[in-house]
Copies of this chain bind each other. A is one copy, B any other.
Amino acid sequence: MSKTSPGNFFEDFRIGQVIRHATPRTVTTGDVALYTALFGARFAVQSSDAFAKAIGYPRAPIDDLLVFHIVFGKTVPDVSLNAVANLGYANCCFCLPVYPGDTLSAQSEVIGLKENSSRKTGIVYVRTTGYNQDLKPVLEYVRWVMVRKRDEAAPAPGDHVPRLPTALDAKVLGEACPAIKVSNYDPAFAGNSYKFGDYAVGEKIDHVDGVTVEEAEHMMATRLYQNTAKIHFDLFAAKQGRFGRRLIYGGHVISLARALSFNGLANAFHVAAINGGRHVAPLFAGGTVYAWSEVLAKSELPGRSDVGALRLRTVATCDRTCTDLPYKTGDEYAPAVLLDLDYWVLMPR
């Protein structure tokens, strides 16, 4: 019998099944440096121990999206090695800050299964939790992927589509954010002086800058997360495939868009939750990514006067600047759109 893992096929999953994923991973300042080199993030809290300490953190926390990518990466060999498409995620909540030296591990529960009418594939819904070394959850999210069947004749292993919220309620936000000493929050160091109260629902911000992606960059990023999805790494196989080239991990676009959003959202120092995300089109090396954001909602946090939450939609595009805020007409996305991300950020009040 082969000792090589072929990954799970649709008929291998069961509702309620719990999968503990390999490989646990200690996150370090080495990862932080690489993440900075790959995305150029400039949020002061994650960049500076001194800034973070002044406002109430014990030290600079790990970037929220780096935590997300590492946890996500662990699920790939078990959940999506035989995936046809990564369909979406929802209900992603950061519940504890992560610091250099913490060890992340991941576990997923299968919460939904739905065979497609072709009987060749099915949709698998998993709720994944990332843990630290004390086995405390640091992150939770649901994602759903379309997975191939090994044997088309196999019976569907279940038939249940979970109900998922459109957006997280503001009262669960902020668990991964300690009490912030707003008086110590230095706007010159943070990059601008616009705080929670300065943003209005409906406001739209073009983040102006663009960044081109190289093959070496997205592969280094994706390996840093120990994500093993073949399509990102194997040009020889990709040449025979649908696109003829390597596909960039969708999370790469999310991190690029977040880094670009600093220009206009410098004080949105913490991603508290991701309500939902859609990878509208694939990105390939050589493409230049731009982004713009809209404030979808604002919310105070129960019992907290230090920070407030903005619900943002950030749209990323490829080889098209965002001065005219390209999005969609009806259900049809504008041609250059790569990403449609709906998430909550926290800002000092």
Contact = CB atoms under 8 A, between A and B. Distances in A.
Interface in A125-150: 133
Given A23-B191, A214-B214, 20 more contacts: A5-B191, A5-B192, A20-B189, A22-B188, A26-B29, A26-B47, A28-B29, A28-B33, A29-B30, A36-B223, A36-B224, A36-B226, A37-B224, A49-B133, A77-B191, A209-B233, A210-B237, A212-B215, A214-B219, A217-B220
Given A3-B198, A49-B101, A212-B233, A23 B42 contact: yes
A123 B265 CA distance: 30
B235 A212 contact: yes
Nearest to A227: B40
Contact of A24 (B189, B209, B221): B189
A10 to B, nearest CB: 20
Interface of A: 2-5, 20-26, 28-34, 36-40, 42-44, 47-51, 60, 77, 101, 103, 105, 133, 188-192, 194, 198-199, 205-212, 214-217, 219-224, 226, 228, 230, 233-237, 246, 263-266, 286, 288, 319, 321
Contacts of A24: 44, 47-48, 50-51, 189
Copies of this chain in its oligomeric complex:
3
Contact of A223 (B39, B77, B222, B234): B39
Contacts of A266: 22
A22 to B, nearest CB: 4
Contacts of A319: 236
Contact of A30 (B34, B39, B219, B263): B34
A29 B34 CA distance: 11
Given A22-B266, A190-B22, A264-B4, A33 B30 contact: yes
